[in-house]
Amino acid sequence: MAVSDCADEDIKHVVTNNVTEVDPLIQSTGTVSTGQKRQREDRGGPVSKKAHVDNNNNSEETVQVKMLIPSAAVGALIGKGGETMRNLKNESGCRLQMSKNQEVYHGTNERICLVKGKITSVMRVAGVVMEKIREKVDSSTPSDVYDHKGVERSKEVTPKSRVQMKLLVPNTSAGMVIGKSGTRIKEIRDQTGANIQVYPKAGSQEAKVSQERVITIAAESNEVLMNAIERVLEKVAADPQHATTIDFKENDSFGALHGHTAQGQTVQPFDFNSRPVGAAQFGGIQQSQFGQMNSAQVWQPSQQRALGEQPSYFLCS
């Protein structure tokens, strides 16, 4: 049974101060009242003071991406009984899925949130994620190899503090962000003022065997960070393979190293557009299909998974 994206294709947008947003009223009614639609024509001024607006309307492209969420912020993002995440889904128009407690990205204590929607809608989710991270993450939160060195893990944000977002994307998408000889990533850095790093590094042994790579985006202000995230998402959306099936073969060193898949198993990415008949309201996927998700190859196996049981997920459908 097919499930269409939560975002209505016909939803109109409000552009205020060069930031494109979906008005909750418009999202619920599908209409624009007098005075709601306005656009600032002046696009001058420092790039750090405005969100990137692409003349090719790339913000309307649909993108599927994974965000790494510090464990300390996950509870606040999900909310009691999943209420906060459901509200975020309704307000943003995105599909959202959070991994369970024992499912974290390898080498970190961070869980994975899958997001699919229009770039403008995904940006809205990213903004809420950053808000929860700043509220809940402090100096007691352990750092990892994917963190930017200048990031201040403190609730007391100072003018010199650096904030960050970590995105998990396929290798092909990372290549779209980096560009030939690093031209695209350099352009994004120069135009936004953000620091962007891709792990593992291109050419490294780990990069050769990894199906996905972490893009860490750090900046000295939330505004600069969000601008850079949008630019990165545009590049990811331009990759036609960013949501396609990954064939996880028996000799794949990444899978063998972390033990996330059985030998010879084909691992497919999570398809937000497919939903088996009889799926539970929040499950969206039959239990037997959990092992086929692309994310399974990068999440640390829990003790139950080591015993051969299927992993579990929280899906806001």
pLDDT digits (tens, 9 = 90+) for 25-51: 333 334 434 344 343 333 333 333 333
Mean pLDDT of the chain, nearest integer: 67
The pLDDT assigned to 126 comes to 97
In this structure, whether the domain defined by 58-237 belongs to CATH 3.30.310.210 is answered with yes
Res 298 pLDDT > 80? no
Res 313 pLDDT > 60? no
- 1-5, 6-10, 138-142, 277-281: which has the highest mean pLDDT? 138-142
**Mean pLDDT of all residues in 250-262:** 29
Task: Summarize pLDDT for 101-144 with one digit per residue, the tens.
Answer: 888 998 888 999 999 999 999 999 999 999 998 888 876 677 88
- Look at 168 and 28; give whichever has higher pLDDT: 168
The pLDDT assigned to 264 comes to 34
The pLDDT assigned to 59 comes to 63
Task: Summarize pLDDT for 47-81 with one digit per residue, the tens.
Answer: 333 334 344 456 688 999 999 999 999 999 999 99
Res 218 pLDDT > 60? yes
Residue 89, CA distances (Å) to 27, 299, 315 in order: 12, 23, 11
pTM of the model: 0.62
**Mean pLDDT of all residues in 259-264:** 31
Question: Closest Cα partner for 226 from 131, 116, 122, 123?
Answer: 123
